[in-house]
Amino acid sequence: MSAPEPEESEIEELEPEGPEIEELEATPPGTPPLWASIVAAIVFALFLVHPMFLAISDLVALPELYGILGIADRTPWWLLVTGIAVPPVAYVVALLLARRRPMPTRVLLFGAALGAAYAVQLSLVAIAGVLLG
């Protein structure tokens, strides 16, 4: 003897109610909440505004100063442009690398981008002394 086959209404009762299993997938472990990621990105973007401001002010003032000193032909244009380009490029690279990483790793990547931007700014100051000497 075989078991009687269930009726349509009984089959519907056996199906799980609620969201499908695919909808219940959680974020990977260690991934910070979205708001924390946005706050970290905004804070480090604000930190990177300062080296960018310094680079822009160098681009505006340095050629004029070199002109007054009579060495306008020694203006390091490539360094001035590099100083402006590095902060946003470093930020974007850090932002892309920080995706889906734990918060300490994100902060470390943004900190490295900030350090790179300031290192370029300091190298601009150091090379200016070499060019004048």
Residue 34 lies in a domain: no
pLDDT digits (tens, 9 = 90+) for 63-95: 998 899 888 888 888 888 998 999 999 999 999
- Please compute the mean of the pLDDT values over residues 8-14 and round it to a whole number: 55
Residue 107 lies in a domain: yes
What are the start-end ranges of the H helices in 16-76? Answer: 34-69
The SS3 of residue 104 is: helix
Alpha carbons 27 and 100: distance in angstroms, whole number: 9
- Count how many domains the chain has: 1
pLDDT classification of 24: cutoffs 50, 70, 90: very low
pTM: 0.71
Residue 64 lies in a domain: yes
Q: Is 39 left (phi over 0), alpha (psi -120 to 50) or beta?
A: alpha
Give the containing element (helix H, strand E) for 92: helix 77-97
pLDDT given for residue 120 in this prediction: 86
Residue 90 lies in a domain: yes
Domain with 87 in it: 41-132
Residue 16 lies in a domain: no
Residue 6 lies in a domain: no
